Amino acid sequence: MKLLYFAWVKQKTGTAEEDVTLPPEVTDVTGLIDWLRRRDEGYEAAFEDLKVIRCAVDQEHADLNASIAGAQEVAFFPPVTGG
Amino acid sequence: MKLLYFAWVKQKTGTAEEDVTLPPEVTDVTGLIDWLRRRDEGYEAAFEDLKVIRCAVDQEHADLNASIAGAQEVAFFPPVTGG
Amino acid sequence: MIRVQTEDFDIGAEVAALSKDRHDIGAVVTFSGTVRDKTGDLLALELEHYPGMTEKELVRIEREAQERWPLEASLIVHRVGRLAPGENIVLVVTASAHRQAAFEAAEFLMDYLKTRAPFWKREETASGGDWVDARDSDDTAAARWTKK
Amino acid sequence: MIRVQTEDFDIGAEVAALSKDRHDIGAVVTFSGTVRDKTGDLLALELEHYPGMTEKELVRIEREAQERWPLEASLIVHRVGRLAPGENIVLVVTASAHRQAAFEAAEFLMDYLKTRAPFWKREETASGGDWVDARDSDDTAAARWTKK
């Protein structure tokens, strides 16, 4: 599965994009976040406050409790500030 | 006093602009309209339906019962349709 | 700023002139009204106005918008004379630090212009000319600004 | 139509292209957002986005506006990359037979764009760079379109 990070989430994880193979028990966004936070302190810092984390599954806005089963691409980013 | 007519009011009166000397008893817009209607059938037709007559006294919107005492210029026209 | 003119206007050039060298604006809204051929047989739209009063009324309307909203700049341009289908009639531009102010002020300017500025439209078709009737919906739109 | 680009845009040229040879429009509203220097020390605004999702989201937002209002044409242009104070960021154009539809659709497009399109702003000053925080007022503005 491809993971993407934007804005300060990218700065904190230190990664723009990566491919990961998830253990079978990780089936939704929340599970994915928990799994990522355990990797290192950069990820831990990025996902410290979930109120300011937004997510897209296959390039569509998704809730943090959305399923990621079969997803190709999951992205994490702050609330958008364009326009 | 200068009188001005616009749009179909002008077409009906047959006049764009004229100078008139009013009798002393004509002191407000309604009185002026009554006086004009007595002049000829063009004016009579122009002021037949007062619901669709608007008026400006010295280039400011005015009600039909507004005073014209001391006014330099009174204009009659249909409801505006610009923009 | 207000202008009454026979010539066409260029929206991009007007916005550029308004916001030149300024870093405090943030939001610019424009409204342009064009000659619409509703029935497919319109030859031209003739715009008559009341010289003198028109300019005063537009200044008054613009001043009222500036009192109600925090505008950094504003512009009203209204054309008069004979216009072909598709041609520009009117342009309103509002610039503010905030988009809501720019949007509301532009709507206000158009609503007031439509109900207070002394312009009259006459539609010319092959069968003759007809003065355009004022619309109740314009009065209703203008009235919402006094209900507050 | 939607576009994501690094280059600037010209409001007048975009409106002209949209309404070329058309006699059914009547009303065109544009909104343009520019880089505002609130504190007087802004060097640049950096706009990051999510390529792929951005385009899909803009198409979705535009389609929703077209379903809600009788639009004859619409356009969203959003710039990305490094922008100086005063430069254009975003342009929204809506064209309709009626001004109220054009105004409302433009406001809707901006509200949705501000809360749903995946762009992020970073302000660069002499003392460093700061990601711009999302504003509650933008969420409130967007929410009014779902209350109806």
Q: Cβ A80–D119 below 8 Å, yes or no? A: yes
Q: How far is CA D111 from the centre of its chain?
A: 9
Query: What pLDDT sits at residue C27?
Result: 97
Q: Assess if residue C46 is contained within a domain.
A: yes
Nearest CA in chain D to A62: D116
Cα–Cα distance between C58 and C1 in angstroms, integer? 9
Residues in chain A predicted with pLDDT less than 50, given as ranges, are none
Q: Cβ A82–D132 below 8 Å, yes or no? A: no
**pLDDT single digits (tens) C31-60:** 999 999 988 899 999 999 999 999 999 999
Cα–Cα distance between C118 and C49 in angstroms, integer? 6
Sign of the CA dihedral running C90, C95, C101, C102:
positive
Question: Is the pLDDT confidence value at B5 over 80?
Answer: yes
Q: Assess if residue C126 is contained within a domain.
A: yes
ipTM at complex level: 0.94
Is CATH 3.10.20 the classification given to domain B6-77?
A: yes
Q: What's the CATH number where D50 sits?
A: 3.90.1170.40
Q: Cβ B77–C114 below 8 Å, yes or no? A: no
> How many structural domains are present in chain C?
1
pTM of the model: 0.95
Q: Assess if residue C148 is contained within a domain.
A: no
8 Å CB contact between D95 and D14: no
Cα–Cα distance between B12 and C123 in angstroms, integer? 17
Residues in chain D predicted with pLDDT less than 70, given as ranges, are 148
Confidence bin at C13 (pLDDT 50/70/90): very high
**pLDDT single digits (tens) B6-59:** 999 999 999 999 999 999 999 999 999 999 999 999 999 999 999 999 999 999
- Residues of chain A in contact with residue D53, where contact means CB-CB under 8 angstroms, are 56, 59-60, 75
- Residues of chain A in contact with residue D129, where contact means CB-CB under 8 angstroms, are none
Give the ranges where chain B is alpha helix by DSSP (H). Answer: 7-13, 29-37, 41-46
**pLDDT single digits (tens) C64-84:** 999 999 999 999 999 999 999
Q: Assess if residue D107 is contained within a domain.
A: yes
Cα–Cα distance between A21 and A74 in angstroms, integer? 13
Nearest CA in chain A to D113: A83
Exposure on the CB side of residue D101, measured as CA atoms within 13 A: 18
Residue D60: domain span: 2-143
- Residues of chain D in contact with residue C103, where contact means CB-CB under 8 angstroms, are 31, 103, 106-107
C73 three-state secondary structure: strand
**pLDDT single digits (tens) C91-114:** 999 999 999 999 999 999 999 999
Domain residue ranges in chain B: 6-77
Q: What is the mean pLDDT of chain A?
A: 97
